[in-house]
Amino acid sequence: MAKNNKNISMAVIRRLPKYHRYLKELLDKEVYRISSKELSVMMGFTASQIRQDLNNFGGFGQQGYGYNVEELYREIQKILGLTITYRTVIIGSGNLGQAIANYTNFQKYGFKLLALFDTNPKLIGMKIRDVPVFDIDELQEFIEQKQVDIGIICTPKEFAQDIANKLVKTGVSAIWNFAPVDLKVPEHVIIENVHLSDSLFILSYLLSNQENF
């Protein structure tokens, strides 16, 4: 059984999605048992790192047996909260908002998309897959009525703080922010930023510092 998840460090938590992904691949290939050494070769972590990480939430490894892939996968799903259904909305229904809405995999992991919002009359009234795009003026009432958990911000950065304030006011618990700006929200609201350009610039640094480039 998992220990109290609150005691697991964020450094370990940030590695869990990678464990989740690799274990899912193993299950898809009908591999049900794996040693920390084999996992380490696959994932590029040391075997001792893997043992340390997985010891954080219960001893799943058995000497001479390795890890039970299915049990470990289920436990990591539980720790990551992926056994819960979340109600989400997207604010900003342009390129990125629509791409996220069209990516059905998030639904499979329990992130239910209820609606998108925008200010552009050409988009309002449209459906992305089967999900409606509403006027931003309807955001507050919608969130309160449908008890939305997560607001996904895909607007230009100039509007992102104002949208975040609106989301906080309606009582959402978490914000997934794609606008390239650091938003200010009260402590009780969870915020996770995805700054794609930060990652791209690291790639640029590595590439431009490569010998022979």
Ligand X SMILES: NC(=O)c1ccc[n+]([C@@H]2O[C@H](COP(=O)([O-])OP(=O)(O)OC[C@H]3O[C@@H](n4cnc5c(N)ncnc54)[C@H](O)[C@@H]3O)[C@@H](O)[C@H]2O)c1
Provide the binding-site residues for ligand X, judged by CB under 6 A: 91-97, 117-120, 123, 136, 154-157, 159, 163, 178-180, 196
Q: Is 95 annotated as a binding residue?
A: yes
CA distance 72 to 20: 9
Q: Which of 145, 149, 172 is nearest to 86 (CA)?
A: 149
The CA-atom distances, in angstroms, between 128 and each of 97, 132, 190 are: 10, 6, 26
Which residues are CB-neighbours of 102 under 8 A, at least 6 positions away?
A: 128, 129
Beta-bridge partners for 152: 90, 176
Q: Is 96 annotated as a binding residue?
A: yes
Minimal distance in Å, beta carbon 166 to ligand X?
A: 9
Minimal distance in Å, beta carbon 59 to ligand X?
A: 41
Minimal distance in Å, beta carbon 183 to ligand X?
A: 11
* Residue 143 identity (one-letter amino acid): I
Q: Is 5 annotated as a binding residue?
A: no
Residue among 92 and 151 whose Cβ is closer to ligand X: 92
Q: Is 72 annotated as a binding residue?
A: no
Tell me the residue nearest to ligand X as measured from the CB. Answer: 94
Residue among 50 and 175 whose Cβ is closer to ligand X: 175
Residue among 26 and 179 whose Cβ is closer to ligand X: 179
CA distance 159 to 151: 14
Residue among 44 and 121 whose Cβ is closer to ligand X: 121
Which residues are CB-neighbours of 142 under 8 A, at least 6 positions away?
A: 89, 114, 115, 117, 134, 148
* Residue 115 identity (one-letter amino acid): A
Minimal distance in Å, beta carbon 178 to ligand X?
A: 4
Minimal distance in Å, beta carbon 154 to ligand X?
A: 5
CA distance 93 to 96: 7
Q: Is 125 annotated as a binding residue?
A: no
CA distance 212 to 115: 49
Q: Is 23 annotated as a binding residue?
A: no
Which residues are CB-neighbours of 32 under 8 A, at least 6 positions away?
A: 26, 68, 69, 70
Residue among 36 and 93 whose Cβ is closer to ligand X: 93
Q: Which residues are annotated as a binding site?
A: 92-97
> What residues are designated binding site for NAD(+)?
92-97
